Amino acid sequence: MSELDEAWAAALSEAEHRARLAGRADVIEYLSLRNSNDLLRKAGVDWLIAGFTRLAGDANRAGAGIQISRKDDHRFPIGSSTMVGHLLTLSNGVRTLYVEAGWPRVPRDGFVRGGGLACANIRHLGIRQAGQELLLTKTKTGAPAWTSFVNKHFSLRESDMRRHIVILIDQHR
């Protein structure tokens, strides 16, 4: 957890405490929803980054030679908003796969368009058509799911992540 995340969690906790003392059920309800959404955001982003990291590791054990690096507190644009989160960079020779995922942290960062909780980009350097823009949404069961901005019926699965790794290591493209 970054210092900003820790400070934010402490501020939310203090705000909830003050709301309880003041008998403000509406504020308590809002803060509870905010906390729940933050947990879903963190779980969704962690799943995405961990999934790609694990699949790259699997490919390396099979001889792929992918270099893996990760940057936290990464800022990236989605439309006119700024997302803050993680950047995973997977490199294989001249090919590079970028996986960035996060959400706005402060009001000046803007908001997640489309009513989602977080956003992600999967980008292949030099292969624009292979990339995806994703939106983290809450399913009917309350679980987080990564969907496409373009095709709302698409839900990212491990097989889709594996396809991105195959594109990264494919020597015949």
CA end-to-end span of the chain:
39
pTM metric for this prediction: 0.82
> By C-alpha distance, which of 118, 135, 156, 132 is closest to 40?
118
Q: Is 52 a member of any domain?
A: yes
Q: Is 35 a member of any domain?
A: no
Poorest-pLDDT segment among 4-8, 41-45, 127-131, 132-136:
4-8
Q: Is 29 a member of any domain?
A: no
Q: Is 25 a member of any domain?
A: no
Using pLDDT thresholds of 50, 70 and 90, give the confidence band for residue 26. confident
Cα separation, 76 vs 120, whole angstroms: 9
The DSSP call for residue 114 is: G
How many domains does the chain fold into? 1
Mean pLDDT of the chain: 86
Q: Is 114 a member of any domain?
A: yes
Contacts of 54 (CB under 8 A, 6+ apart): none
Query: Is 78 a residue whose pLDDT tops 70?
Result: yes
Of residues 77 and 115, more confidence is placed in 77
Of residues 108 and 5, more confidence is placed in 108
Query: According to the per-residue pLDDT averaged within each range, which of 9-23, 34-48, 65-79, 158-172 is highest?
Result: 65-79
Q: Is 98 a member of any domain?
A: yes
Query: According to the per-residue pLDDT averaged within each range, which of 10-19, 28-37, 160-169 is highest?
Result: 160-169
Using pLDDT thresholds of 50, 70 and 90, give the confidence band for residue 114. confident
Query: Is 161 a residue whose pLDDT tops 90?
Result: yes
Q: Is 139 a member of any domain?
A: yes
- Residue 32 has a pLDDT of 67
Query: Is 143 a residue whose pLDDT tops 90?
Result: no
Q: Is 19 a member of any domain?
A: no
Domain, as residue range, for 67: 48-169
**Adjacent-strand bridge partners of 75:** 84
- Residue 173 has a pLDDT of 47
